[in-house]
Amino acid sequence: MNLSNDTIALLKNFANINQNILIKPGKKLNTISTMKNILAQADIKEDFSEQFAIYDLPEFLRTIDLFETPTLKFNGGSSVGITGKDKRSTSKYTFADESVIVAPTKGISMPDKFVDFTITKDNFARLMKGTTTLNLPDVAVKGDGKTIKMIATDKKNKSSNQYSIDVGESDKKFTAYFRTENFKQIVDDYDVAISKAKISHFVNRNKPVQYWIALEPDSEF
């Protein structure tokens, strides 16, 4: 089996959410953060025939990077052999015991949405740059009855610096808070839905990947 560049990019993104991963037979990847507040799911081109667990996903990806056009040969769920294009270099990578892996045990059914909007890749990138530039720990999605804004802020500091972007319109008033550290999505265009149950759903408009991210408890609707 050869892993496509798209699948490797998804695995690298998922490693930012959780360094563990349990890969099941089929053409899907999913992961959940250790705090259980971020869930991600993606469709991939490859069709895995075996179930296996990787304890240190960044290490596994670095191992793959050692090879030009690596080929993977699975050994009954216990390990994988990796061979380079020239057939001269090889690696055996041993899988982990599934009992030590934090992985999703079931899917999620998104509750009824309270509000939805679309954020473009450019706006998403600017928002994240704003959080980094101003060292802001929170992202607020705020509706004032007319406009929906995404705001990089520090909700515990009334004199905090802020950076905001208009992302939509709504007649509803609300404030949905996220921790900046929970924004692990690939920077891209997203359809976003937010529920009063304090869960959000980010669906990538260009790639087959989606994320469910918990809101902070002090969100108001």
The DSSP secondary-structure symbol of 220 reads B
Question: pLDDT by residue (tens digit) across 112-141?
Answer: 999 999 999 999 999 999 999 999 999 999
Question: pLDDT by residue (tens digit) across 60-91?
Answer: 999 999 998 899 999 887 999 999 888 889 99
Query: CATH number of the domain that 155 lies in?
Result: 3.70.10.10
| Domain final residue pick, 100, 135, 152 | 100
Is 183 domain-assigned? yes
Q: What per-residue confidence (pLDDT) applies to 213?
A: 98
Residues 135 and 96 both lie in one domain: no
Residues 34 and 87 both lie in one domain: yes
Is 163 domain-assigned? yes
Hunting for tokens 């349990």 — which residue is that? 22
pLDDT-based confidence at residue 97 (cuts at 50, 70, 90): very high
Is 221 domain-assigned? no
Residues 31 and 67 both lie in one domain: yes
Residues 40 and 90 both lie in one domain: yes
List the one residue out of 18, 60, 61, 58 whose CA is nearest residue 41: 18
Q: What domain count does the chain have?
A: 2
| Domain final residue pick, 41, 71, 100 | 100
Under 8 Å between Cβ of 63 and 43: no
pLDDT-based confidence at residue 104 (cuts at 50, 70, 90): very high
Which residues span the domain enclosing 193?
Answer: 113-214
Is 174 domain-assigned? yes
Residues 83 and 48 both lie in one domain: yes
Is 105 domain-assigned? no
Residues 148 and 73 both lie in one domain: no
| Domain final residue pick, 100, 125, 141 | 100
Under 8 Å between Cβ of 49 and 74: yes
Residues 93 and 118 both lie in one domain: no
Residues 74 and 120 both lie in one domain: no
Is 220 domain-assigned? no
- Mean pLDDT calculated for residue range 33-53: 95
Residues 180 and 120 both lie in one domain: yes
3-state SS, one letter per residue, for 37-90:
CEEEEEEEEEEECCCEEECCHHHHHHHHCCCCCCEEEECCCCEEEEECCCCCCE
Is 122 domain-assigned? yes
Residues 95 and 154 both lie in one domain: no
Residues 136 and 180 both lie in one domain: yes
Residues 79 and 144 both lie in one domain: no
- What pTM value is reported for the model? 0.94
CA 18, CA 41: separation in Å to the nearest integer? 13
* Beta-carbon contacts of residue 73 (< 8 Å; ≥ 6 apart): 1, 80, 81, 82, 83
Is 164 domain-assigned? yes
CA 85, CA 183: separation in Å to the nearest integer? 36
